[in-house]
Amino acid sequence: MISLEAGPRPLVMGVVNVTPDSFSDGGEWFEPEAAIAHGRALLAAGADVLDIGGESTRPGAERPSVEEELRRVLPVVRELAADGAVVSIDTMRAAVAAAAVEAGAAIVNDVSGGLADGEMAGLVAAAGTPFVVMHWRGHSADMQSRAVYDDVVADVCADLADRVEVLQGQGIRRQNLIVDPGFGFAKTAEHNWTLLRRLDEVIALGLPVLVGTSRKTFLGRLGVPEGSEPRPPSERDLSTAVTSFHAARHGAWAVRVHDVASTVGALDVADALRESP
């Protein structure tokens, strides 16, 4: 079982999107064989956890059926877990989470924090698996219309604290909860940067924190002239690695990334700078 104690170096969670329409890789790993091979490559590059998801959460994405989501993820979860990988299932559906845990998944990562499916909390409580609770304000189709905050960091922290309390009341043990501030979900670019600048306030909630900035649009706008299209997702890995370095310096439990090698390199630098001469 993987530790939820924040160590001197964040764990690296490698993303395996088994979707035809992911914003980051455009369905490159949609077929099970390709997704399994990609997961193995991420492990070889240094990933500690593989986060396998069958539903795109990019803005405006349509949801697949439960049956289709299961068809996408279960062969991948089963094979990679059998390899000995620590597998996280990225889903908002209790039925998918239950099947994935039975197939070997060790973590449930729900971008809705249990809000999208009323049965999720009970399933996770019964299974006893770690549960990632992301800050969420609605499904991808209209989430950006809800990016309104008085103080984004204070509001996100308050929402997460409230959600954690509810989930504990539904039987999930606090020691199994991980929080994620939800970069890019109902957040503007400035909201995302503010959350990163004030990451210490999220860490101060006293729970393991997962940071998921990888290839997000706000990183793609760096260095691009006003009014121009952001750089494509595949060109955002260096910026992602810098945010992983930042997360390491502030005590994040884990970072969720598409390109594992660049983030592992950034964390190696953070380790070297922390060591005494």
Catalytic residues: 216, 256
Tokens of 61: 């994405």
Name the CA dihedral angle for 181, 233, 26, 56, rounded to a multiple of 10 degrees: 10
| Selection from 124, 98, 101 nearest residue 113 by Cα | 124
Count of Cβ atoms closer than 10 Å to residue 244 Cβ: 27
> What's the CA gap between 125 and 60, in Å, rounded?
31
With residues binned 3-state (H G I as helix, E B as strand, rest as coil), the percentages for the chain, rounded to 5, are 45, 15, 45
5: exposed, middle or buried (C-beta count within 10 Å: 0-12, 13-18, 19+)? exposed
Phi/psi of residue 255, nearest 5 degrees: -120, 140
DSSP string, 163-203: HHHHHHHTT--GGGEEEE--TTSS--HHHHHHHHHTHHHHH
- In the numeric block, the tokens 């979860």 are attached to 77
